[in-house]
Every structure is written in C-alpha cells, then in structure tokens.
Structure 1
Amino acid sequence: DDELSASPPVVKADREEQASGQPWTSLEPLSGPVFVAGATGRTGRRVVRSLLEQGWRVVAGVRPGGITRAEAIYANSSFIGQEEDIKGRLEFREWDGMNEDSISRAIQGCPFVVCALGANSLSLAAPSTVDGKITQNLIRISAATAPYSTETNQLLRHFVLVTSLGTGSFGLPASSLNLFG
C-alpha cells in the first residue's frame, strides 16, 4: 500500500507533453469523430448522447438496413437536444460486424472507437456472435487499420469496450459468466 501511495500522480504538464515526457494524446472533441458500434441499443444511445453533449462528432454504427430506424430514434429532439449543432455532428454509417471491409469503411477517419454492442439475452447464439466474434472483429480491424505514429511509436486510435455481458439474471445465456465472478 505504501508503494502505491508514494507514486506521484500523473498530471498534464502542457498540451504537448505529459509529466512523464511522453507526447500528450488529445482526447478533446475537436480531435476527431467517435465511431460508436451499437449506437441504437440502450447503452449505445447513452454513449452517443453523452458524446454529443460534450461536443464530439459521432459516427453512429448501425446494422445493414438500419439507418431509417436509427434516424427515427435520434430524430426525437428530447433525446439529443434542440440544438441544430448537435444534429450536425451526428452521422450514421451501416456496418456488418462479420465483414472486415465493412468494419474498415465504417471506422475510417475515426480516431476513437466505442464498442457498445450487446446481444439479445433471449438468444442462445447471440452472445457468442455479438459479444464474441463481432466484438473481436471490431477490435482486430480497429488495431489493424489504425494510423501509426513513427514519432511516438504508437497507434493513433483509442478503443473503448463497454459491456454488460454477464450481468443478466441467472439462466440467460450470457449470465453463465457470473459463475466465474
């Protein structure tokens, strides 16, 4: 415990460098759009709304054929606010999580990717496909297509995984993970 409390906090020294001397990676709204996979689901909608309220540009990833549904969800002005600026920062892109080219096109130009996918808890196969294979594909393609900085020796894409996998009631397919803590 003493070792942990003795370590100095990491603080931002200035816009260009962290206190450690490493280049600062900007996480500000103007630093690029955020691709949100699962943008029409309950968690995805909250993520999109929060990002828009903070000033981010958002690319909402929707299933093939799902743009009309997504537009209807997000057309509700009480959901995303009255400001036209917010609506102007929201773009919809169809993507197929089982198709590498589709994933690559969907995340193109997005230095930030948020995966808020979630399987239908009533389907036995969905957790394996959605929470498993599709999420793995998104992670793999995000890393493989990320711009690379030779200056900092870093990939220039951030990936955030948000999941409620394993939090459901016992007896549902994904809830079996609860047995492992």
Structure 2
Amino acid sequence: MTWPSAEPLETARLLLEPLAVRHAIEMINALGAQELYRYIGGEPPSMKGLQAQYERQSRGQSPDGKTGWLNWIVRDRTSDRAIGFVQSSLSYNDGALIADIAWLITPSEQGRGAAVEASSAVLDWLRTLHPRRIRALIHPDHAASARVAERLGLARTSALVGGETVWETAPIPSDVVKRSSGQ
C-alpha cells in the first residue's frame, strides 16, 4: 500500500509543516506542559523520546504498512513558533478509507481558535482523498476538544474506543466515494 504524504498547508494565521525529526527541538517546549496529558495520558516527552517518535511517525506508515500516518506541526505565522500538531491516521475498513484526526495545541495558545483553524485545513486536505468517514477520538470529559470537534462538523456518537468517545462525519455513500475517486 502506498499512502499519501502530508503536504504543507496554510491558513490565515497558521502554517502547517509536514513532520520532520528536526521539529523535536521546537516541539519539546510546546509539549512540555503536564496539563496537556490530563485526558490523553502519559507525560511530557524527553528530547530523545520525541526524536525517536518523530523518526517513526515521519516514515508515513505503520511498520506493517496497513495504516498511513500524516503529521503536521502547527506554526504561528506571526511569531514563527511551533504551537502544536495535527495528525491523521488512514486505514481501510471493508474497502472504505477511514481517516482519524487528532489535534493538540500548547496551553498558552489554547482558546484562540488555533485547533479549529489548523484541523479545518487538514480536514479540507483529507477530503481530497475521498474518505468514507472522518473520525476523532475524544476523552468524554475533554470539553474543549469536544467543542473543537463540533466546530469541525463532527458529531458525537455513542461508540467508545479505548474509553474515548468517537466523533465523526456522516458517512459518505460508497457510490459517491467511488465516483469521486475515479473507481
């Protein structure tokens, strides 16, 4: 399976750069606040750990090739500072492309619309791939991420995956997906 590669994206206030190992130097600060891990678990990464993670993620797919990985560093245009990331995992389920999306913005930049703006740019880009469904997994108590999902047009479902609520777009009928992707 050949998966697409993340492309640079731009919005009015943000630049989204495809992930590279060199971003770890900047992102160690953006990911350093313990409060970021309240709902997602874990703790701030070490520099060595983040470099290893970015090395894996920048390959663009899981080791078995069954999942595509797309990762963007979110950069503020004005300050040129890395303020977070947006990522998407691509997989096939019964022959239909499914895109999972996640976002994280450093606490000092939260509440200013960066997560919505960056994630909207990624969603628009993902839609060019004609996925059957786009989903986000959000901790049930994470109200801020739930608001981002709502603003992105995702709807809360009753499904849980790993204790997180599935938010998703309405499924695109398979005949529309086939027509739009040239199948």
TM-score (normalizing by structure 1) = 0.25
Q: Which has the higher strand share?
A: 2
Structure with the greater alpha carbon radius of gyration: 1
